[in-house]
A = this chain, B = another copy of it.
């Protein structure tokens, strides 16, 4: 990549004004790293515009001077989509306003730099709920969550970010502002441009604000951890839970015994959720608008499942502290692996009905390829989304193990593909998986994406190294 000229960089600095940029390496450094340590980028300049107009002026200069840029939110992405390697970095984290919260509309408008947690709290001030939650919700921003179509633990009931956005304001690749901040539930007047921007990983525009859907606060909530013999039993239990509650399942998360052991060993203040130690666990959360209804539904579900032998053990959270304990062993699954050595990480999805077959086949194939490898599969089984992580054998040569990552992942991804799955369920493609995705997507699809991208960003200045 050719470096932007000094004149171009000066024009960018002038576009955002004093306080809106820095070239100081020590200030920039934290924003060039991904938390797993897989990327460490570089940039000639970091811009931190404080308004949509400043973003628009900056992108206009980039377009005029053909300066490639990478947009960034909270920098919590796991596929390197937010890390510049020579591009100018444009952070939206200073776009901080909650512009409007309207309870009658079940909608709120917030700027891109508001964190997911802050968005949840803003909704709560109007006695409403914004349901998207992630382990990194205190840092991840609305802008980043939209650009990466974030998922999380409540997708089963409320959908991905794609399903939660009513309107978008964005700066387009030519620097013009697209004001699509509608609070409408229905608007059939041409292509849905916001759907194109959602999940586009910053390649079609920079999201500066969004109008988000809000939901009623639930009156009852019940959480359990259950023990299971197999993922197939989990899928069957999920179907029963949905039928029992008419869709009131908020979360249905799978964990494997080995992943729980990593957490118990490596993360302080965590404890066994069950007295027994089954090979598989599910964390189930039901919620209802009816006081007490979630608790009684959970009780019915679990007692039938225990009687019928579908589950082998169950513990219902008796209070918020215990609910927090249950969630902690789930949310620390990634962090719990870290001290165990390197791992080949996969964020895949398959049709829910095939989760059991996939896990069986993939694990057998991986263990043939890498004897002694420790497979820790966990995740949102209700969405068919498995974080399928292969940890190095305890006494392995770590460098050699890492060198086999691509080959090992290929085995997993090929099986995912045979099950009509996706090699990136919720993390996106970013720098990590774009090339790998070419293997599995059809030419029709890739060429259509390329045509759309070229139509909107003919100079390819927007996050040029990610997507097709």
| Interface flags, A427-449, vs B, CB<8A=1, else 0 | 11100010001001110111011
B102 engages A188 (CB within 8 Å): no
* Residues in A147-188 with C-beta less than 8 Å from chain B: 148-149, 151, 155-156, 159-160, 162-163, 172, 176-180, 182-188
A239: Cβ under 8 A from any B Cβ = yes
The segment out of A16-24, A66-74, A276-284, A450-458 that lies at the interface is A450-458
Q: Report whether B445 and A456 are in contact in the complex, using a CB–CB cutoff of 8 Å.
A: no
Measured CB to CB, the closest approach of chain B to A215, in angstroms, equals 6
Chain B residues with Cβ below 8 Å from A385 are 185-186
A349 interface residue (CB < 8 Å to B): yes
- Tell whether A247 pairs with B186 under 8 Å between CB atoms, given A191-B449, A195-B192, A196-B452: no
Contacts of A159 in B (CB 8 A): 163
CA distance A413 to B353 in the complex (A): 47
The verdict on A65 contacting chain B, using a C-beta distance below 8 Å, is no
Contact status B244-A289, CB under 8 Å? yes
Stoichiometry, copies per complex: 2
Question: Would you call B384 and A177 a contact (CB within 8 A)?
Answer: no
Per-residue contact bits, chain A 180-218, to B (CB 8 Å; 1 contact, 0 not): 101111111111110110111000100000000001111
User: Does A321 belong to the interface (CB within 8 Å)?
Assistant: no
Q: Tell yes or no: A345 within 8 A of B by CB.
A: no
**Bound complex: CA A204 to CA B192 (Å):** 13
Which single residue of chain B is at the shortest CB-CB distance from A453?
B191
Across the interface, do A190 and B353 meet the contact criterion of CB distance under 8 Å?
Answer: no
Selected interface stretch from A47-55, A265-273, A416-424: A416-424
Cα distance A426–B184 in the bound complex, in angstroms = 11
Chain B, residue nearest A379 (CB)? B186
Chain B residue nearest to A203 (CB atoms) is: B191
Q: What are 12 A-B pairs with beta-carbon distances under 8 A?
A: A106-B352, A176-B444, A177-B444, A184-B349, A184-B350, A185-B385, A187-B425, A193-B445, A196-B452, A216-B245, A246-B248, A293-B293
- Name the 3 nearest CB pairs between A and B, nearest first: A246-B289, A455-B455, A104-B353
